[in-house]
Amino acid sequence: MRRRRIAVFGSTGSIGKATLDVIGHLSTRFEVSVLVAHSSSRIIAAQARRFLPSMVVLSDQEACVRTRQLLGPGFRVESGLGPMLDAATSARTDIVVMAMSGTAGVLPVMAALERGKHVCLATKEILVSFGSEVTETAHRYGAQLLPIDSELAGLHQCLEHRSRESVRKVILTASGGPFRRTGPPERAAASQVLAHPTWRMGRKVTVDSATLMNKGLEAIEAVRLFELRPEQVEAVIHPQSIVHALIEFQDGSLLAQLANPDMRLPIQYCLTYPERLDSVIRPLNLSRVGRLEFAAVEERRFPCYRLARSALRLGPAATCVLNAANQVAVQAFLQGRIALGAIPRIISRTMLALGVAKKNVGRRSVRVLLRLEQKATTYAHCLVRSCPAPGGCPPHAENRKAVRDSRQ
pLDDT of residue 391: 52
CA-closest candidate to residue 264, choices 282, 244, 281, 283: 281
Structure confidence at residue 363 (pLDDT): 64
Rounded to 5 degrees, φ, ψ at 111 are: -65, -40
DSSP-derived pairing of the beta strands 77-79 and 95-98 = unpaired
Sheet strands side by side (includes 167-174): 254-258, 243-249, 167-174, 233-237, 295-296
- Residue 174's DSSP bridge partners are 237
Distance CA 393, CA 382 (A): 10
Distances in Å between the Cα of 306 and the Cα atoms of 64, 119, 211, 247, 309 are 41, 30, 10, 22, 5
Q: What is the pLDDT of residue 402?
A: 44
- Pairing label, strands 4-9, 233-237: unpaired
pLDDT at 357 over 80: no
pLDDT digits (tens, 9 = 90+) for 149-204: 999 999 999 999 888 899 999 999 998 888 988 999 999 888 888 887 776 777 88
For residues 328 and 324, what is the distance between their CA atoms, to the nearest angstrom? 7
Q: Are strands 167-174 and 254-258 parallel, antiparallel or unpaired?
A: unpaired
User: At residue 218, what are phi and psi to the nearest 5 degrees?
Assistant: -65, -35
Residue 398, pLDDT > 80, answer no
Render pLDDT for 97-119 as a digit per residue (tens, 0 to 9): 999 988 889 999 999 999 999 99
Chain-wide mean pLDDT for the chain? 91
Q: How far apart are CA 360 and CA 355, in angstroms?
A: 10
Q: Over 80: is that where the pLDDT of 17 sits? A: yes
pLDDT value at position 298? 92
Q: Which pLDDT belongs to residue 307?
A: 97
Q: How many CB atoms lie within 10 A of CB 154?
A: 26
pLDDT single digits (tens) 122-136: 988 899 999 889 999
Note the pLDDT of residue 389.
58
Query: What's the confidence (pLDDT) of residue 292?
Result: 95
Contact call for residues 6 and 92 (beta carbons, < 8 A): no
Looking at residue 360, what is its pLDDT?
67
Maximum CA extent, the chain: 64
> Cα separations (Å) of 200 from 91, 194, 204, 205, 209?
34, 9, 12, 10, 11
Type of residue at 201:
M
Q: Are 6 and 23 in contact (CB under 8 A)?
A: yes
Confidence of residue 394 (pLDDT cuts 50, 70, 90): very low
pLDDT tens-digit series, residues 250-278: 999 999 999 999 999 999 999 999 999 99
Burial of 39 (0-12, 13-18, 19+ CB in 10 A): middle
Q: E strands, 60-110, where?
A: 77-79, 95-98
How many residues are present in the chain? 408
Nearest by Cα to 208 from 177, 245, 251, 242: 177
The tens digit of pLDDT for each residue in 337-348 reads 999 999 999 999
Q: What is the DSSP letter of 394?
A: P
Q: What is the pLDDT of residues 289-310, one digit of tens each?
A: 999 999 999 999 999 999 999 9
Interval 84-97 mean pLDDT: 97
To the nearest whole percent, how much of the chain has pLDDT over 70? 93
Q: How confident is the model at residue 314 (pLDDT cuts 50, 70, 90)?
A: very high
Instruction: List the one residue out of 384, 376, 326 whose CA is nearest residue 208.
Output: 326
What per-residue string of b and e applies to 77-94 under the rule 16 or more CB within 10 Å gives b? bbbeeebbbbbbbbeebb
